[in-house]
Each structure stands twice: as C-alpha cells, then as structure tokens.
Structure 1
Amino acid sequence: MLTELLTGWMRHQRWFAGKGRPVDGLTIDSDVELAPGLRHLIVSVHQAGTRDRYQILLGCCNDDMPDKLRHATIGEGFYDAAHDADLTGTLLEAMADGRDIGPLRFRHLEGTHIDTSPRSLVLGAEQSNTSLVYGDAYICKLFRRLIPGVNPELEIVNALALRKAAHIAQPYGWIETDIDGEPTTLAMTQEFLSNSNDGWALALASVRDLYACLDASASEAGGDFSAESFRLGTATAEVHQELAAAFPTGVMEPQEITHLVEDQRRRLAHAVTEVPELGRHAAAVEEAYQRVCDVAHKVPVQRVHGDYHLGQVMRTPTDWVVLDFEGEPGQPLPERRALASPLRDVAGMLRSFDYAARHLLADHPEAEELLPRAVEWAELNRSSFLAGYSAGGGRLHGEDAVLLRALELGKAVYEVVYEARNRPSWLPIPLAAFGPGAAPVTL
C-alpha cells in the first residue's frame, strides 16, 4: 500500500526527475525510524530500464491530519514530514550530537556548534531539492534525488571553510549513508543568509530602473549595478583562488583541448538538429571553436563552481557569497567534480548578465525600443564583472578571450535547446548571443 501511495505522490513533486514517463515500479531500499512518527526512506523508482533513488522524510499520523499538514499529505496516515516542524528538529539534534541511526550518519563540522532550538520552515523556491530554514540560523538542504558519492557542494564548502575562505556560507553539518558501497550525501546544513538578496533579483531591479529612466545611461540610472558587478567579479576570482589552493590543479594539454572542442561541436550539431534556427550561426560558432585549438595550447584547470549564474550568489549586507557548488544538475558526479578552466564559471556569469538584461523584453510591447538599453546594461555589467575578476587576481590574459568566447557560445548553445523545449518565448535571449548585437568579450 505504501509503495502505491508513494508512486502516485512522487509523480507530482517538483523534485521528481521522471515526469512524463510511466513508473514501472517503486521499491523501498531503506526504512529507518528517526523519531516516533518520523521515518527516513530511500526508495528506488524504476522507469524504462532506469533506476533513480530518492529520499523521503515520511511522517506517520494515526489520527486526523492536522490542517497545517494537509498540503503535505501522501496518503491515508502518511505525509511529507519535511513540512512538520515538530519532527524536523530531529535532524539538527542528530547532527549536533554526531549520532548514527541505523545506516544513517549525522555529522557536524569540527569546531562548530549547532543550536537545536530553531524550528524549521520549508523554503518554497527549490526545484530539485528541498530546503528547510531553521529560524534565522541555518538552512538544511535535503538532496531528494540521490546519486552515490559525496556531493560536490559538501566537499567544496567544507574544504573552503577549513581554509577560512570568504564568500561562502558557513557549513555546520551533514547527513550521509552508504549506497552501492559509496558514502553518499543525503543533506547538508549551512548558515542561513538572512537580510540578503540573490544576485538575479538585484540585477533585475537595476534593469527595471534603467527601463524606467530612458533619458539616463546604464551608468547614470538610479539602479546602476556595475559597482556590484565589479565586486562580484572580485569575489569570484577569490573563490577560484581558494578552490585552486584547496584541491589539485592541472593543465589541459593540446590533445585534451581538441577533445573538448570536438565534444562542443557534437553538441552544436545536435542543437542545430533540434533548433534549426541556430543553423545560420553554426559556421561562426565552429570558427570560434577552431580558434581555441589554434591559440590555446595549454589551459590551466582546477575545481570550479560548474553552474555559475546570478541566481547562485547572494549579496549580504557586507559582501557577495557564492552558493550551490553542486555543479550542473543532472550530470554524473565525476563530471561535476572534474577539473575545468575557471573561465567556465566566468562565461556562465556573462551569460547570466545577458539574460538579466533581456528577459524582461520577452513579450514586452516596447521590446524593440528598449533593446538598445538592454544591450547597454549587459555590456556595462559584463565589462565591470571582468574588471573585478582581474582586480581580484583572476587570470584574464589577452589570449583568454578566445577560450572565454568559445565557452560562452557553448553555454548559449545549451540555452537555445533548453529554451526551445521549456520556454519558447525566451528563445531570442540565447539566440542573440550569436548575432551582430552580441555583447563583446574584451579583456
């Protein structure tokens, strides 16, 4: 009965990766009682020969479901206990104590103290995970879809915290178990950045202000963001330096560079097949890729963020903080942990500035009139970010412009496919990266 209830319920959860495909079966791999009325489940969902694992905090209710939990109902007598603040305190308590509960290991970072008194609230903005905010103190991210291995975010943030690095949210604890013989991260708890704003929201506020002040330049409008872009560039460079100090580094040799370019060419060909409109730009993109082979003979590589954009950074009252070091969602852990050029992160942020500048124009009745303002804003903030990155010690030599441009185009190719599948009205945004009005890369 429980497996049937879980199957029906999971299909409608935002974090369920198998939407649109029939579920062939669901099995419960692990069932651990954490406290009276609270069970921790690891389940396997079987779909068309594939197997995905998920974790569920299962609340058990023998009486009538309280009104405050009805929205979390799984089925008769069961509910998603992530929404039950009377039960989720168990997670903090177990991390603070360093308990082992069955196969689950609750740990805290050496030298930290966890206050177990705050009550939790589910953060509503999550998609692939579920985050519990405990008062103004902590945020505990539950990784819903489980991939065997240590999550890169836990690995990176703990390593940087031990170095007392700036620009990260202080980690406090985590939950792990073994899956397929590998230690696997189930959840991690970090400092909750109260009184902070994410970079995407701040950038959009600046763009809206610019659109409302048509007589002012992007540097004169009241919502000028370029000073923040400079600071963000500096913070990004400092994080890259800390990553290079905390983890092994390497050099990509010419043969590896060629393999990377060939992979990008294959992705381009696939994208053109799916979005024929991209075809008229394919030759120019191919030329940009070839220039990398011609110019970049050795490329320094290291651990990077891997999915860097304005939505992954928070502006606190004092500085920028970088979040979500998980890497690109959906990619295998070895790829998310692989060494790469730090310019990959730089390219991701440059694309994010273009998105911030242009996405308000989608379906806007005055889009044509406002487009020059969007381009102006993007160019100003891209150049400010790059200047800050260089000032912070980031490597940006003249020849790096070739690799950075290729990485940015590769990101835009991915975006074209994504928008065509999910948000067709946004498709002009990534397509603009290939046209004559594309913001330049000047180092």
Structure 2
Amino acid sequence: MAETVTPSGTTTPGSLLASLDPLLREWLPRQRWFAGKGRPVTGFSPVAATELLPSDGKLGLHHLLVRAHQPPVLGAPAQPGDCYQLLIGVREALPPRLAPALIGHVTGGPLAGHTVYDALYDPRPAEVILEALRARARIGGLRFERDPGQEIGDGLVARLLTAEQSNSSVVYGDTFILKLLRRVVPGVNPDLELPLALAREGCARVPAPTAWLRADVAGDAYVLAVLQPFVQGASDGWELALRELAKGEDFAAEARALGRATAEVHLALARALPTVTLGHGPLRNLVDGMVERLTAAAQAVPALRPYEAGLRSAYRALDELAAEGRTWTAQRVHGDLHLGQCLRSPSGGTAHASSSGGAWSLIDFEGEPARPLSERRMPQPPVRDIAGMLRSFDYAAHSVTPPAPGWAAACRDAYCSGYAEAAGSDPRTDPVLLRAYETDKAVYEVVYEARHRPDWLPVPLSAVRRLATTSPSPRRPRP
C-alpha cells in the first residue's frame, strides 16, 4: 500500500499543553513508567503535538511529546527534563469502563469543558494507531512505517495490557502486540534496531518487527513504538518461574533451555553487527563506569555503604586481569535480560523446545532505560546479559517464603550449562568477569528498588553482601 501523507496533523503545542499542565502535574508522577519518582513536576515544555482525531467530535485524540521539568537530584547537575510520549483521548464525558484512564477535566484552553484520559485504555484510539501503521501514514512529524513483506489485517480489537511495565503495551486480537515507549530520547533505539538485525539474520528466537512509529522533531529522530507478532498462549518467564517455585517444582530444565536460547541470540547478534576486542584501555573505561555507578549508588542509598569497599574489589580484580594482558570480545547484547524479558511458547519445534515442549523467545531490547542511549548501544561482553539472568533467578528465589537459594543455584548452573552447549564457552570459566558484571547489576538493582520498590531492597542487598566478600577462582563447570 502506498504511503499516506496527511498534510497537517500538527496542533499548537503551547496552548494545548498549558490547558493540560495542572492535570498532568498530578497524573504523570503516578504512572508506573514515570522515571522521576519522589520529585515534584515543576512544569512542562512541549516537544511536539499532533492531532490524530479532531477534538470537535465525540472522540478526540492527541499525540504529545512533552518534557517534564523537576528539581535536580541532590548533588547532581541540572538536567533538561525527561521527554514522555502521551496519547491523550478527549471526550465530553468518560464512560465508566474508562474510569481507570482518567487524567482530569479541562477548565481552560482549547480543550475546555472536555474530559481527557490515557487513550490506550480505549480500543478505538488504540486501533487508530494500528490503522496508521497499516497505511504507512505520515501525520505531522509522525512516521508510521511497516515491513512491506508483512501485512496487518483488519478487525483486530485492541486491549491494553495492565501489568506494571516501564512502557505500555497493547495487544491487537491476539495477533500483534504494540510496545509504546513512554520515556523517549532521540537516536537509534535498540528496541527496534536489534530485532530488525536479528530478523535479517533469520534468528527465530526474537519476534521480527512488523511495523514501527518514528517522529522527526527539529532535526531529531525518535523511535516511539514497535509492533511485533503476539505469541499467543506464551508464558512470561518470571510468572512461569514463580508458578514452578510455588509448586516446589524443579526449574533447571527450563533454565537450561533458556541458556541455549540466550546463546543463540548472542551468536546471531555477533554475526549481524560488528564486534570489538576489549584490551586494557577499553576495559578500564568499562571498569571506571562501574566504579562511578557504585560511588553514586552508595551516596543515594546509605544501606550500600558498608559494602562499598568489598564491591570495588570485584572491579579492581577485573582491571588487574586486563592489565596482565587478558582481552575479551564485546558485541551488541540485550542489555537488560531477566526472566520477565523472556517468553516460553506453549509448544515449539524440537530444535527450540524445552523439556515441557515449549520454546523460549527473548523480547524487549530497549536496555536499562535509566542508562543513556549511547551506553545502551555500546558493545559489551555477552556476560552482561548472563549476569542479568543470574540475578533474576535470585530474585525469583527470594519472592517466596522462606527464600529458596538452592533453587536459584540449580537454575544458575543449568542456565550456564545450556549457554555453553550452544555457545561453546561457559561463562563460569571466567569468574572475575562474571563477578564484576553481577556486582554492577546488583548495584543498579539497589538504586532501583530504593527509589521504586523499597520492600524489595533486601533482595539485591543480600546479593551485595555475597558479592562483596566473594573471591572468585576458576572452577570446573557442572555438566
């Protein structure tokens, strides 16, 4: 289908945002995906505003990119403010089914007298997005793009996934899932870049993008959303692990199959995109970044300070190994791998199946959203992803009462064994590198939990205590 160009979808962002400002100041900080928890919003500045449905009808729809301004974190330099993507629905009155989506009632400006709400809760606005992707439309600065080799059918009813996420996801008729990025930055987003590269490589472990939404704003390009096939009946790896834990069931076979899947994705990424060799200089830069994050984390979370010296020893050991001439290969990786970023289909072919008959897929290649985009796109040793998954097994084991450290240990060994089967190298044979990356991940988790989920803070702190006193030595992997 030829590209559809809409001559004017752009609205005057200043007056629109001014009318929404008092409502957004209350509503935005309550959203799960809002990054600036604990600090008030002092104002907004418009980045772009696009009218997708006119507000003079029964249903209006506005696409907004807005920058939220907040006081700086104590001791940190002032920042320009995070940019958020909002889909604002406009109605005269909100039906009861949309009550959870309410933003508020507008009293002034171009939307005065109307009720505004998060439009993704409403099937019709969500379907407008899918229709634009199908037509490869251009509306204002928005570019709705699609793989010409894939089709998007008609009549797919939209439903919002309400599970807590750092973004928002809409499922269309159990056929597609749209991930709409909430906190956006200009540049090449790995959540689109890497799945496209893996699709070209023929890697079946990652759903190939069907369509995507970009924006061009004042010379900056943003990736705003990605549409992929929906794996119907798939189990989220985190929920699956918790179910097996609750039943007292062994998860080692699934962990082993997941290790193989991870290795296959790493091998495909290494074929599709450049790799680099890390000698002492580049490795020192990575270590310096780990040290800086630890220093900042210890300042932000006092509970981390008693372990700071021990954690630094993990980074120092890695730097000393590099100084002796050791090198590592770095490549593009997932960047935020954990059980919640993995799906197990209800059945799969023998090549990819676990003992249960299902096949594992990896999703959500955005990386850790709190880290700069340039850092998320840097080549890293594959052990970065492995460390993330090992930490995830630990999280699962601590989610039950009493905790099940033996379950986590069995999963860790099985996962590494499965990885070695596909990759030809076992991450446990490089314990210094593995400890450094596990430490870096645990430090990240401490800060995240302290800010967002204080009740979970003991989980990464228990790992911090272990990692601060560990002195790794080469070991023989278990079969």
- Give SS of 1:32's match: strand
Tell me if structure 1 keeps the 8 A contact 2:37–2:452: no
- Does residue 330 of structure 2 align to residue 301 of structure 1? yes
Q: Is 1:253 aligned to 2:279, yes or no?
A: yes
How many Å apart are 1:265 and its aligned residue? Answer: 3.0
2:433 to 390, 403, 418: 403
Determine the C-alpha separation between the residues in 1 that align with 2:310 and 2:220: 44
Q: 1:133 aligns with which of 160, 168, 171?
A: 171
Partner of 1:312: 341
> What SS does the aligned partner of 2:212 have?
strand
Q: 1:357 to 1:171 in 2, by over 3 A?
A: same
**Distance in 2 between the 1:30 and 1:273 partners?**
36
The TM-score normalised by the length of structure 1 is 0.87
Once the two structures are TM-superposed, the CA of residue 335 in structure 1 deviates from its matched residue by 0.8
Determine if contact 1:58/1:80 at 8 Å carries over to the other structure: yes
Distance 1:108 1:415, change over 3 A: same
- Deviation by residue 1:243-266 (Cα, 9 ceiling, x = unmatched): 111111101111222232233234
Q: Distance in 1 between matches of 2:421 and 2:264?
A: 10
**C-alpha distance in 2 between matches for 1:422 and 1:79:** 24
SS in 2 for 1:171: coil
1:182 maps to 2:196: no
Partner of 2:103: 74
Report 1:46-57 matches (<5 A): 46-48=69-71, 50-57=80-87
Matches within 5 A, 1:14-413: 14-36=32-54, 37-48=60-71, 50-62=80-92, 64-76=93-105, 77=114, 78-210=116-248, 223-275=249-301, 278-279=304-305, 281-296=307-322, 297-317=326-346, 318=348, 319-361=359-401, 367=402, 374-393=404-423, 395-396=425-426, 399-413=429-443
TM-score (normalised: structure 2):
0.81
Residues 85 and 387 (structure 1), Cα distance of their counterparts in 2 relative to 1, 3 Å cut: same
- Work out the CA distance in 1 between the residues paired with 2:95 and 2:81: 34
In 2, Cα distance between equivalents of 1:439 and 1:358: 23
Query: Quick one: which amino acid aligns to residue 336 of structure 2?
Result: D
Structure 1 SS opposite 2:31: coil
Q: Secondary structure of 1:290's match?
A: helix
Distance 1:430 1:23 in 2: 29
Could you tell me how far apart the structure 1 residues matched to 2:162 and 2:333 are? Answer: 27
Structure 2 gap segments, 5+ residues each: 1-18, 55-59, 72-77, 106-113, 349-358
Letter in 2 for 1:310: L
C-alpha displacement of 1:161: 1.4
Indicate the SS of the match to 1:189. Answer: strand
Amino acid at match of 2:216: D
Unpaired runs of 5+ residues, structure 1, are 211-222, 362-366
2:443 and 2:373 map into 1 onto residues whose CA distance is: 22
CA drift of 1:272 comes to 4.3
Q: What is the percentage of aligned positions where both structures have the same residue?
A: 46
Residue type of the alignment partner of 1:44: R
Aligned residues: 420
Q: CA RMSD in A?
A: 2.5
